[in-house]
A and B are shown apart, each in its own frame.
Chain A
């Protein structure tokens, strides 16, 4: 099995400060975008699957 360690010993960041924060912010936006996409996907799929039956139920 290949080594799959996650050691951070001796870590020397090549980018720090503002650039690191910018990258972090971009990742957060990407995660937010994916979550929003999932909400839209589930909403759209529900409407498509239920179709006209959405209205066809006892109130």
Chain B
């Protein structure tokens, strides 16, 4: 195992173990996948019109597979740095369970397959958006931005924001203001969410040379930018109510949770030293996950209730 880690810095890890099915599942980043499925489901349920449940199931499955495929391609490309970061060292490639070539092959087949099946069986707007999501995550974020600029997760965050748009397009066959709003909420949520994590994990990123904002511009600037993006995010998250996408429950939830989000972002800006500083960043990171989940869950609930009542 030590040999595997020693070789991992060049991403050239031989396969030491016969891979299990679980290793291939791990390549798909199932936790990220579950968030993608959830936000895509909200996009589908909130979209006007209807989609046959069988086609809806196929659309969700293909969106999940496409997201997983881009995760596998990300692990293929980043195998060298994954092996040197505590958070990612146990992934299948650095552990020597799956070779980089196998991950590349697996990710490519699933990417092409998911886009084709979604396009053929549901519609080609959704298929094209899924292709864009995968391409954005692999080429723009992983290959181009991640190792080059501290703005990596700002621009690259778009990849994580596309799924509700894909879900929406699966139902309507189009892109609309409402689906762009669902995209923008995740897009502006990503920087404060990831930078809060990076504030207390920046040593890992520094060691492998990934220019996360705290590494390049320092913690002070990162805390300032977290607050700036939070100030953009919170009002934006309220707007679904004003375009008829969210109801009164959504308005109240987004206002209350938005106020808490801002308070925590302010706390991150104010408490900068030692363990208290780390704790403030951790609190914002944890809450940010709940915040996004709650906003989307309320939207989902409102539209399900509306669907049942109407």
* A interface list, Cβ under 8 A from B: 1-15, 19-20, 23-24, 26-27, 30, 38, 41-42, 44-45, 48-49
Q: Return B112 CB to nearest CB of chain A, in Å.
A: 14
Q: Are A3 and B80 in contact (CB under 8 A)?
A: yes
| Chain B residues within 8 Å of chain A by Cβ, number | 32
Q: Are A3 and B11 in contact (CB under 8 A)?
A: yes
| B residues near A4, Cβ cutoff 8 Å | 11-12, 76-77, 79, 100-101, 104
User: Contacts A41-B58, A48-B54, A48-B55 given: A2-B78 contact, CB under 8 Å?
Assistant: yes
User: Contacts A3-B11, A11-B14 given: A26-B21 contact, CB under 8 Å?
Assistant: yes
User: Contacts A5-B100, A42-B121, A45-B54 given: A26-B20 contact, CB under 8 Å?
Assistant: yes
Q: Are B77 and A15 in contact (CB under 8 A)?
A: no
8 CB < 8 A contacts A-B: A2-B77, A3-B11, A3-B80, A4-B76, A6-B102, A10-B14, A19-B18, A41-B58
Bound form: Cα–Cα A26–B21 in Å: 7
Q: Return A45 CB to nearest CB of chain B, in Å.
A: 4
* B interface list, Cβ under 8 A from A: 3, 10-12, 14-21, 24, 52, 54-55, 58, 61, 76-81, 99-102, 104, 117, 121, 143
Which single member of B12, B17, B121, B143 contacts A41 (CB below 8 Å)? B121
A-B contact count (CB 8 A): 82
| A residues near B17, Cβ cutoff 8 Å | 13-15
Q: Are B100 and A45 in contact (CB under 8 A)?
A: no
* 3 A-B pairs with the lowest CB-CB distances in the bound complex, closest first: A3-B11, A6-B101, A5-B12
Bound form: Cα–Cα A4–B100 in Å: 6
Q: Are B54 and A9 in contact (CB under 8 A)?
A: no
Q: Are A30 and B21 in contact (CB under 8 A)?
A: yes
User: Contacts A4-B76, A8-B15 given: A45-B104 contact, CB under 8 Å?
Assistant: no
Q: Return A34 CB to nearest CB of chain B, in Å.
A: 10
Q: Are A45 and B15 in contact (CB under 8 A)?
A: no
Which single member of B10, B19, B121 contacts A23 (CB below 8 Å)? B19
Bound form: Cα–Cα A41–B60 in Å: 12
